[in-house]
A and B are shown apart, each in its own frame.
Chain A
């Protein structure tokens, strides 16, 4: 089938103006938030209803054409890029909050609802959607589900997986499945838990029931500054070991502090500090939260903090947080491009790993800024670079690989919240053996026997030990069964230009 014929068929489902074929239109979708990967999709389609999503996926199933679901494209792993020969299904038009059930603290939403919009809509009920990725003003709940997104406040409240109760999903075959239950109890095995974080490989979530969390009545936000990264890392361990679970516990190093303070997001962080910790405590009783804040302040001073200050009002609190949440944007001042890395280490390993990362940055002559979820041990070493400088780009790749290796050696993992996507595929064999990778591929084939949804992501197929295919007649595709986009059942190029 030619591209124009496919576009016509898709246009008949969603309306011609919601199909993009011109290069100038498609190039918008060639990247996500990570500038090191670029893929130009052949066709972009933007369905506006769940029925249109189902019809589009059924058409692609009949034709045997692979596809990639995409939300706002803020991901940081190259996960929502469509290879040549694949159709990109953009879900941002499915942006309705279908129901807010304040009594049961839940909401039913479409996948294209923007994360921060959901919290804004539920605020009048005294509720919010707790997972708060830094991109929350743009990223969508569907994308959060696909990536199992985190955020600063996930330390206390848990990541996306802890907040998804039920899903309606469309499988590669175009069939729908209802997973979980409105109360959150799994219906049989925990298929919601399995689906969340599957990076689009298991299908498209078209309706999402989320858990809402009461807004805390009392909040204290502390800023502690340290003269060494090590003492800041030790301060983190001291808080956790004391049995205190702050709502958030974030760290920024000097390079990050400077970038923020030079930007319009200047938060009043001390410029000469080697690191600052942003600690937030919340609860329902003002006196108790205040007392807990005093305890944390004493712990941090004992751990070596030069000063600990508490935000005196909401405006100051917002300013402190704005610096943290806009840190990635502020780093745009440092260089043309930025790789936001993501890895997790045991909390107690933070001081050593941060020193190792500093050594790697020096060796490769790169600027690495650290801004991360210290309470979870979830690092974000951000490498500033210029993508047009090829030798520098190679140094970035090598440094990234060494940083990952250092985190794995410390007992950690290669991604805590950004996902594997394309970017971390090569690291998967470093943490999973061939049998375990084979198990993942086998599970994927239960949902998508032809591996047509978001092909080439998450599991490096070449590194897998082969598992027998579990043939499921109910989910058998009706198309050619070929992942190869180069041929259709009729032997024609799928998407000839």
Chain B
């Protein structure tokens, strides 16, 4: 029996989708239990499995015996606008999820890079927050709990559906940004916000140095923008760097904050929507995307370093949060050298997306600080004892 025949017998023909260009069978389990069945079998059979969502973020190019896609896990079992919580399966597209939430007056305050149909599971597994991280925190801050399936087919729940929860260890935070190395996320309990009654964006063009200083001044002034993002000219499709300020909340608070912005130009609602969407989609276009996170005061120095080592055509940064995302074309050598340089500055580099040869050579993670590497390796062995999940956590 071929792998495909075995999987068909296990999950039915409905779970078998058309293979991608590399002819690796693509399997779409229809339920969390089916994911557990598939991975349990893969573990026993020694199959290697790559994890896919909608296929819009990480390239579907990891060598594997089969590709597990979460795209049929697209239900939203619960939206509780009164409690501002929701439970959604990992394979739902963020665009669909946002619409369903908005219909109930609720909002997920995360705007990850990528195309609109990118899955919730992809966002959580890679912990890719967007500009809204300035005001609403990283992806993990929006999670109340997750259910995941380990590489040997065990279904594990962590967290819960309520605002605060310290029952047991926080395995949710391990999964957020684990890139699937510790299991496949199947269900996510989300913390929501009320759909903001006011949502405005103001922009200012200028030199990078000037705008970085203005961003610092805004942060120091006590303004609390939802986003305070510095965008490179190529990414913003403008002649100069752009500093964009997004303010959301009650009309009263937003108006009060707007008054402090001075020379910025306010975008019309559709312009603002287009601006943030282009920014998000831009990072899904170039071959390599990574993020780095330093202390806010080092933002300028880190931007200089990037410009020097890999160029600065496609950059989006939150200087007040110390977060920088870079996208472009570069080599394994340059990435490895950059990671080493950054590690000496106590700045981690997380490779977010790249073709498999780059991912496997560079690794999503690496250059760990003292004592952390063995812990990561131990966790990986715990959650994927047979090495069924094809994830390039650490480089060569």
What is the interface of chain A, defined by CB distance below 8 A to chain B? 101, 103-106, 147-148, 150, 154, 158-159, 161-162, 171, 175-179, 181-191, 193-194, 196-198, 201-202, 214, 217, 237, 240-245, 283-285, 287-288, 291-292, 295, 344-348, 373, 376-378, 411-420, 424, 428, 431-433, 435-440, 442-447, 458-459, 467-468, 470, 472, 474-475
Q: Which of A179, A183, A284, A377 has the most CB of B within 10 A?
A: A183
Question: What residue of chain B has the Cβ atom nearest to residue A408's Cβ?
Answer: B160
Contact of B171 among A159, A186, A443 (CB under 8 A): A443
**Can you list 16 A-B pairs with a CB-CB distance of less than 8 A?**
A148-B170, A159-B164, A179-B372, A182-B295, A185-B291, A188-B350, A189-B181, A240-B82, A283-B253, A284-B224, A288-B255, A435-B154, A435-B156, A447-B375, A470-B382, A472-B374
CB distance B252 to A292 under 8 Å? Answer: yes
CB distance B322 to A177 under 8 Å? Answer: no
> B379 on the interface (CB 8 Å rule)?
yes
Known contacts A159-B164, A472-B374: A214-B222 contact under CB 8 Å: yes
CB distance A420 to B168 under 8 Å? Answer: yes
CA distance A445 to B383 in the complex (A): 12
CB distance B393 to A188 under 8 Å? Answer: yes
CA distance A330 to B377 in the complex (A): 50
> B250 on the interface (CB 8 Å rule)?
yes
CB distance B365 to A188 under 8 Å? Answer: yes
Q: Which 7 A-B pairs have the closest CB atoms?
A: A185-B293, A193-B173, A177-B371, A243-B194, A284-B222, A188-B365, A416-B164
Known contacts A243-B196, A291-B252, A470-B385: A440-B374 contact under CB 8 Å: no
Contact of B346 among A179, A181, A214, A292 (CB under 8 A): A181
> B358 on the interface (CB 8 Å rule)?
no
CB distance A183 to B141 under 8 Å? Answer: no
Interchain nearest-CB distance for A457 vs B (Å): 11
CB distance B376 to A188 under 8 Å? Answer: yes
Contacts of A176 in B (CB 8 A): 370-371
CA distance A458 to B169 in the complex (A): 8
> B283 on the interface (CB 8 Å rule)?
no
CA distance A104 to B347 in the complex (A): 14
Contacts of A373 in B (CB 8 A): 164
Binary per-residue interface labels of chain B (378-390) against chain A in the complex, 1 for a CB within 8 Å, 0 otherwise: 1101110100000
Interchain nearest-CB distance for A368 vs B (Å): 20
Known contacts A176-B370, A183-B296: A443-B83 contact under CB 8 Å: no
CA distance A282 to B156 in the complex (A): 39
CA distance A304 to B82 in the complex (A): 18
| Chain B, 23-47, CB within 8 A of any chain A CB | none
CB distance B348 to A185 under 8 Å? Answer: yes
Besides A158-B137, A190-B127, 9 more A-B contacts (Cβ < 8 Å) are A189-B178, A217-B222, A284-B222, A285-B257, A288-B256, A348-B83, A415-B166, A435-B154, A435-B155
CB distance B83 to A181 under 8 Å? Answer: no
> B287 on the interface (CB 8 Å rule)?
no
CA distance A288 to B154 in the complex (A): 50
Contacts of B374 in A (CB 8 A): 472, 474-475
Contacts of B297 in A (CB 8 A): 103-104
Binary per-residue interface labels of chain B (170-183) against chain A in the complex, 1 for a CB within 8 Å, 0 otherwise: 11011011100110
CA distance A197 to B83 in the complex (A): 24
CB distance B163 to A424 under 8 Å? Answer: no
Contacts of B372 in A (CB 8 A): 177-179, 187-188, 191
Binary per-residue interface labels of chain B (221-263) against chain A in the complex, 1 for a CB within 8 Å, 0 otherwise: 1111000000000000000000000000110110111000000
Contact of A417 among B164, B171, B322 (CB under 8 A): B164
| Chain B, 63-99, CB within 8 A of any chain A CB | 80-85
CB distance A178 to B168 under 8 Å? Answer: no
Interchain nearest-CB distance for A365 vs B (Å): 29
Contacts of B1 in A (CB 8 A): none
Contacts of B167 in A (CB 8 A): 413-415, 420, 424, 428, 431-432
Contacts of B127 in A (CB 8 A): 186, 190
Interchain nearest-CB distance for A222 vs B (Å): 16
CB distance A346 to B85 under 8 Å? Answer: yes
Known contacts A178-B370, A183-B347, A436-B156: A194-B171 contact under CB 8 Å: yes
CB distance A468 to B385 under 8 Å? Answer: yes
CA distance A418 to B381 in the complex (A): 31
> B7 on the interface (CB 8 Å rule)?
no
Binary per-residue interface labels of chain B (285-302) against chain A in the complex, 1 for a CB within 8 Å, 0 otherwise: 000000111111110000
Contacts of A285 in B (CB 8 A): 253, 256-257
Interchain nearest-CB distance for B80 vs A (Å): 7
CA distance A438 to B164 in the complex (A): 22
CB distance A292 to B140 under 8 Å? Answer: no
